[in-house]
Each structure stands twice: as structure tokens, then as C-alpha cells.
Amino acid sequence: MNTNKTLITGGLGFIGSNYVDYILETKPQENLLVLDKMTYAADPNALKRWQENKQLNFIQGDICDADLLQQIFKGNNIQGVVHFAAESHVDNSISRPQAFVETNIMGTFHLLEAARKTWLNERQTLKSDYKKARFHHISTDEVYGALGPTGAFSEETAYAPNSPYSASKAASDHLVRSYFHTYSLPVVTTNCSNNFGPYQHSEKLIPTIIRKAIQEEPIPIYGTGENIRDWLFVQDHCSAIQRVFEKGTLGEVYAVGGDSEKTNLDLCKAVLEILDKHKPRPNGTSYSELITHVTDRLGHDYRYAIDATKIKTTLGWSAQTSFEDALEITVFHYLNQGK
Ligand SMILES: NC(=O)c1ccc[n+]([C@@H]2O[C@H](COP(=O)([O-])OP(=O)(O)OC[C@H]3O[C@@H](n4cnc5c(N)ncnc54)[C@H](O)[C@@H]3O)[C@@H](O)[C@H]2O)c1
């Protein structure tokens, strides 16, 4: 058989590419096969970072292509899957929901089927060559809906997705769960809060704030900016994924968060303070003068927060980077981009 490989879907996206960097740095013996459709959200520059690396192979392809997935599983001794590939931008899901249903639901279904057909025998037990196989589904806290001013989501929270994005992720979570209960497919799922860090697509909040500020353009904040998110540095998310992928109990779900709740307005001001300090405006005033409140997103969830007790106590994981340090690393990354 070929060398063991872990299939990373969506490995050219924001979290996927950070995860590949993390594995290449921390697990030199692990072989990765990155599968990515290269939608607008992919960062092709990641391939340049990895081009000399013998641990990694790349295939451009769609997780909705069942034949391609069968070929990949058959030809590459895929022993693990870390499934990041998704349509991920809530605003796009409101204007164009179909791609979210196709990739997030059907794509996840085809991946589960490829893993089931390759790893399991007719008695629904793992074939001898796949005894340690594992499918890790990456999901979001948005499947739980919105919170009021208090409380936090945990693994026990009932699903109540509010956007086409979160509904499609919720459907994929349920499919993953059903493949464990029906077929005993070895799965784990993580539901994580908002990530920030290097290599995020320019359409997302923090890159937008930085780009608009530097270009001296109005910085758009939805509504009053009072919506609250729990922010987690992407590298801490990567370490959580690795911990669950290696040590999580099969069939279980782990909520991952950064214990770092911020309103969108406070987050924006924190980014702009770093810019004021390290790249002052030509006119000497604060970038915060550029903040402009715009019409709120349809159905905008008020607050998300995560109670990450389970992953902390059962797997010993915790976020290692303070919000302040992580935000500085992030802002410096975008300032240095293109230099
Ligand atoms: N960004 C966050 O804050 C966050 C938080 C929690 C969970 N998540 C989840 O993490 C995962 C990754 O999120 P992200 O922010 O890195 O997303 P992203 O949009 O930055 O990247 C998604 C990647 O998937 C690829 N892709 C899209 N459709 C595909 C298809 N049909 N076949 C193959 N590849 C395809 C894209 O080309 C892109 O490279 C998603 O499942 C998302 O739901 C994200």
C-alpha cells in the first residue's frame, strides 16, 4: 500500500491553509493530500509556501465529485480526513444560497460516502487496513443560533441555525453524526467560534477593516456594531483540531472557543488602535474617524459565545495566544502583505 495520507479538504482556505502550515511545522512525519476546488475563497499563494515540501500533494477538485473522491481514496491510502471545504461567508449565503447547499451538504455527503465505502466492510466494521481511520468534520458555533446577553453554547445546545450558511453547516453536522450512529464510521466534529488570523479572505471583517483604513475609505460596521462574537486565534483553533483529531472520542462533538467576547465595534476599534500606533494616518487623527455604520445584515445573530469546558477538561486543550497578541500578529500580517 502507498504511504498513509490525511486528506485535507478546503486546504487553500483561511483555516485549512493555517492548519496545513501547522501540521507541516509540528508533524514532519505526516503526509497530507490537499483537495480544494479553488473557489474565489482559496489562496493559491499557499501552494507557493508548500511547493518544496515533500509531505504534501495537491489536487484541484470538487468534494461534490463522487468519482474523483473514490479515485482519491482508492489511490492514496487515505487514513484520515480533516474536512474544512465549505462555502463560508454568511453574506454570500443570503444572496446566493445554492452553492452552500451543494458544497456544505452534498459535498459532505459525498465525502462521508467515499470514506464509508473505502474504510468499512459489509458488517460496518473497519477493514483491517483502516483500523485507525478517522474523519474530522470542521463546523461552526453558528449552528446553535443566537444568544441573548448571557449564557454560552455547549455540545448540549439544541441546533437553531438562522442563516442559509449555518443551516447548511447544521445539515452537514447531522449527516456526520448519522454516519457514526448508522454505520459506525469513525467521526469527530468540532464546532468553533469566529476565527481570526493570517490568510483570511479580504471579504471578512478584520481584513476589510485594515484595507479600508489604509485606503482612507469608510469602514463599514453593520447596524450599531453591538453584535457580539467569541474570537479565537486561528493557530489556537488548529491546535484544538489536532488534539481532537488525535485524541477525541469517536462520535463525539467538541465546542471550541477563545473566551474572548467582543462587540464588532470594540473589535474594530482594537484593530484601529494597533494601526494608529504602528501605521499612523497621514493627517494625524485616529482611523476610528472612518467608522461608518451601515444597514444591518438580514437576520443578524446578536451574540455567540462558547463554553469550551469539554475540550479543556477531557483533552487538556486551551488557547495559548492572548487576544491582544493574536490581534497584533494578525494586523502586522495584513500590513506586510504584498510588500
Ligand atoms: N472562519 C471562521 O471563523 C470559522 C469558524 C468556525 C468554523 N468554520 C468552518 O471552518 C471551515 C473552513 O472555514 P474557512 O474560514 O477557512 O473558509 P474559507 O472560505 O476561507 O475556505 C474554504 C475553502 O474551501 C474550498 N472549497 C469551497 N467549496 C469547495 C468544494 N466544493 N470542493 C472543494 N473545495 C471547496 C475553497 O476553495 C476554499 O479554499 C468551514 O467548514 C467553516 O464552516 C469557520
Using most ligand atoms within 8 A of CB, pick from 7, 15, 142 the residue to mutate for ligand 1.
15
CATH fold for domain 5-197+231-259+301-320: Rossmann fold (3.40.50)
- Domain-by-domain residue ranges, the chain? 5-197+231-259+301-320
CA 31 to ligand 1 centroid distance, Å: 21
Q: Catalytic site residues?
A: 141-142, 165
How far is 37 from 56, CA to CA, in rounded Å? 17
Residue 173 near residue 224 (C-beta atoms within 8 A): no
CA 128 to ligand 1 centroid distance, Å: 32
**Cell 488534539 belongs to residue:** 243
Identity of residue 205: L
What pairs with residue 229 in β-bridges? 262
Residue 172 CB less than 6 A away from ligand 1: no
How far is 14 from 284, CA to CA, in rounded Å? 33
**pLDDT digits over 51-98, tens only?**
999 999 999 999 999 999 999 999 999 999 999 999 999 999 999 999
Q: Give the containing element (helix H, strand E) for 137.
A: strand 134-140
Identity of residue 60: Q
What one-character DSSP code corresponds to residue 244? H
CA 180 to ligand 1 centroid distance, Å: 23
Using most ligand atoms within 8 A of CB, pick from 18, 88, 110, 241 the residue to mutate for ligand 1.
88
Residue 204 CB less than 6 A away from ligand 1: no
pLDDT confidence of residue 298: 86
Residue 46 CB less than 6 A away from ligand 1: no
Q: Phi and psi at residue 35, in whole multiples of 5°?
A: -115, 125
Using most ligand atoms within 8 A of CB, pick from 8, 9, 12, 14 the residue to mutate for ligand 1.
14
Identity of residue 258: G
Residue 15 CB less than 6 A away from ligand 1: yes
pLDDT confidence of residue 217: 97
Residue 83 CB less than 6 A away from ligand 1: no
Full pLDDT tens readout for the chain, 339 residues: 678 999 999 999 999 999 999 999 999 999 999 999 999 999 999 999 999 999 999 999 999 999 999 999 999 999 999 999 999 999 999 999 999 999 999 999 999 999 999 999 999 999 999 999 999 999 999 999 999 999 999 999 999 999 999 999 999 999 999 999 999 999 999 999 999 999 999 989 999 999 999 999 999 999 999 999 999 999 999 999 999 999 999 999 999 999 999 999 999 999 999 999 999 999 999 999 999 999 888 888 889 999 999 999 999 999 999 999 999 999 999 999 855
Q: Which of 172, 266, 192, 179 is nearest to 236 (CA)?
A: 192
The three cell numbers locating residue 181: 450512529
Q: Which of 320, 204, 312 is nearest to 256 (CA)?
A: 312
CA 190 to ligand 1 centroid distance, Å: 14
Residue 12 CB less than 6 A away from ligand 1: yes
CA 10 to ligand 1 centroid distance, Å: 6
Residue 282, C-beta contacts closer than 8 angstroms, at least 6 positions apart: none
Predicted TM-score (pTM) of this structure: 0.96
For ligand 1, atom 32, which residue shows the shortest CA distance?
62
How far is 311 from 75, CA to CA, in rounded Å? 34
